[in-house]
């Protein structure tokens, strides 16, 4: 970052949360830090943990597609459901190098509860041990299972929203592009929460936020290097490297103004609009990366969660 480049300010409550939890927040990351980051992920995922009594949990396995390995899944099915319910097919965060199917599960369970959905969260493989395309293969296998009707009773395979947060958001975008090109079943929507979309880490927001907040361009570059492992980022490894963003399902994108991914998210939405697509974009002023996971009690976090529910309800009514 150049000395003359100003940084956007953090929302005061988000700034306080960043300070309070600085021992488990990843700002910069080198390759040798990945084992430590994986350990921190367990702390982050349980920081605000609560078991949602409205769901029955099932631990299942989806068969791999086209010779890929089988994929472990966590399924949350509404306990009171008596007829088929829509499904949020969810991909967790963790920079493609950390996280599990249980990561971020409280966040998506809350959204599912508000909108009458089930959740299927996939345990996709992580880099650097399993670089691209391993995670994409796992996500495609999980989505194939969900949309095929092979899942448990009361999961509606014709009303599926593909969703992800951070790296999982980027993986969801990649999966949607792959799914589009392979003629997969129609999806009700694509929800990308502070998604990791661009391997270049060269945007204005990436340069502004070096060394501050959560997940800076240094961490991002390390994660992408581990995930790509020399692979061509186009057309599916890095969603922003795909030349054509037409034909995606209606897409919801949200991001903070004070985070690395801000500008790549704005550009991604703009490119969907350029192709005549349907995208809803929210840029939350003063939000750090994944601020509503970090500080769900903050006013900004509460404001950010409402549009997700409203968008999802509209999409499901129209599907």
Q: Catalytic positions, please?
A: 166, 259, 289
**Nearest-angstrom CA–CA distance, 165 and 207:** 22
178 to 70, 114, 174: CA distances (angstroms): 19, 29, 6
Q: How far apart are CA 98 and CA 36, in angstroms?
A: 10
Kind and range of the H or E element at 251? strand 251-256
Determine the Cα–Cα distance for residues 100 and 177; give it in Å rounded to an integer: 23
Q: CA 74 to CA 105: how far, in whole Å?
A: 9
Q: What is the DSSP letter of 11?
A: P
Q: In 131-261, which residue ranges form alpha helices assigned H by DSSP?
A: 134-148, 167-181, 204-208, 217-228
List Cβ neighbours of 208 (8 Å cut-off, separation of 6 or more).
Answer: 1, 5, 6, 7, 8
- The neighbour count for residue 137, using CB atoms within 10 Å, is 22
DSSP 99: -
Measuring CA to CA, which residue among 193, 187, 194, 191 is closest to residue 86?
187
């Amino acid at each position: 970052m150049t000395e003359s480049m100003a940084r956007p300010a953090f929302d005061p409550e988000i700034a306080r949360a960043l300070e309070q939890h600085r021992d488990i927040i990843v700002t910069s990351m080198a390759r040798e830090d990945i084992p430590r980051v994986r350990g921190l992920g367990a702390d982050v995922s349980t920081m605000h943990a609560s078991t949602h009594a409205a769901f029955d949990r099932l631990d299942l396995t989806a068969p791999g597609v086209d010779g890929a390995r089988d994929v472990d899944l966590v399924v949350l099915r509404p306990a009171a459901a008596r007829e088929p319910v829509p499904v949020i097919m969810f991909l967790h965060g963790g920079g493609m190098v950390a996280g599990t199917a249980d990561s971020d599960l409280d966040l998506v369970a809350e959204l599912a509860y508000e909108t009458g959905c089930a959740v299927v969260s996939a345990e996709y493989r992580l880099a650097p041990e399993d670089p691209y395309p391993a995670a994409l293969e796992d996500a495609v296998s999980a989505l194939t299972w969900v949309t095929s009707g092979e899942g448990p009773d009361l999961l509606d395979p014709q009303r599926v929203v593909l969703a992800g947060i951070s790296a999982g958001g980027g993986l969801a975008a990649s999966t949607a592009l792959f799914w589009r090109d392979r003629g997969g079943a129609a999806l009700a929507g694509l929800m990308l929460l502070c998604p990791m979309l661009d391997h270049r880490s060269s945007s204005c927001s990436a340069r502004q936020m070096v060394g501050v907040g959560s997940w800076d361009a240094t961490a991002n570059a390390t994660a992408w290097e581990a995930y790509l492992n020399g692979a061509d980022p186009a057309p599916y490894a890095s969603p922003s490297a795909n030349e054509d963003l037409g034909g995606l399902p209606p897409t919801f994108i949200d991001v903070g103004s004070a985070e690395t991914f801000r500008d790549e998210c704005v550009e991604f939405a703009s490119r969907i609009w350029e192709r005549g697509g349907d995208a809803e974009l929210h840029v939350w002023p003063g939000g750090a990366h994944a601020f509503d996971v970090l500080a769900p009690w903050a006013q900004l976090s509460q404001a950010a969660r409402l549009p997700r529910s409203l968008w999802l309800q509209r999409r499901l009514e129209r599907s």
